[in-house]
Structure 1
Amino acid sequence: MAGTENLGWKRLVNAFKFSMQGLKATYRGEEAFRQEVAVLLLAVPLALWLGETAVEISLLIGSVLLVLVVELLNSAVEAVVDRFGGEIHELSGRAKDMGSAAVLLISINAAMVWLLILFS
């Protein structure tokens, strides 16, 4: 039993380490991610100040966090596409465009959440 628990904890520690490596790599390599982190750093105190309820604060902060999540996934798609093919290919371009579209849509969602909460 003890070995299984250690394996579980070791897995969690390793997963956390890999996640931090992913965040660091994205922060270093992606200008858009750095800009979105800056927005988050501004949004959190603003949400705490402007949100009137815990739900509003959660929605304001969560909507910006979702932008970061989708940006991470978009960056992962771009890295895989770039890794497996240096040549121009329609499907590679389509995959990158779809990831970019996902970031656009979640950014629109975040803007809508902020506008609806702050102006209603």
Structure 2
Amino acid sequence: MERRRPPFIRSRLNSFGYALKGISAAFRSEVNLRWHVISAGMVVAAGLYLSLTALEWVVICFAIGLVWMAELFNTALEVVVNLVSPNHHPLAGKAKDIAAGAVLVASLTAMVAGLFVFLPYLWALWEKYT
């Protein structure tokens, strides 16, 4: 008897469910991801307070997404490396270090984008109150 595949819409919904399950697992296990989420919340709050323009919101959203994506890829790579190389191996360590470097690059890129967006507002506030 041939196994039936779920209908197209159901399989798409299943895919979203698996993705959300993965994000949730990473959030529960990775302290750094939780810090990125908290940081993003503070940036969004600052953006709401300062009434960012639509283009500025696009920059901020892309920066936040870049960091979260890098952290999720890093977490996934660490899990796979730990699975295939449970004992210490120099190449496993190198792979983890490179993935951590990608998170650092994404974070620094997001910080620079945030500075370009927020510095003019902060400068205006500084001039207003000094």
Task: Specify the alignment match of 1:74 in structure 2.
Answer: 74
In structure 1, the gaps of 5 or more residues are none
Q: Deviations over 1:20-50 (max 9, x none)?
A: 1101100111000111111112122222333
- Is the contact made by 1:67 and 1:110 (CA closer than 8 Å) also made in structure 2? yes
TM-score, normalised relative to structure 2: 0.82
| Count of aligned residue pairs for this structure pair | 117
Higher mean C-alpha deviation, range 32-41 or range 103-112: 32-41
Task: Specify the alignment match of 2:46 in structure 1.
Answer: 46
Task: Specify the alignment match of 1:92 in structure 2.
Answer: 92
**What one-letter code is carried by the residue in structure 2 that aligns with 1:104?**
L
Task: Specify the alignment match of 1:32 in structure 2.
Answer: 32
In structure 2, the gaps of 5 or more residues are 121-130
% identical aligned pairs:
30
Question: Cα distance, 1:51 vs. partner?
Answer: 5.2
TM-score, normalised relative to structure 1: 0.88
- d(CA) in 2 for partners of 1:62, 1:20: 19
CA 1:52–1:37: 2 relative to 1, 3 Å: closer
CA 1:18–1:37: 2 relative to 1, 3 Å: same
RMSD: 1.8
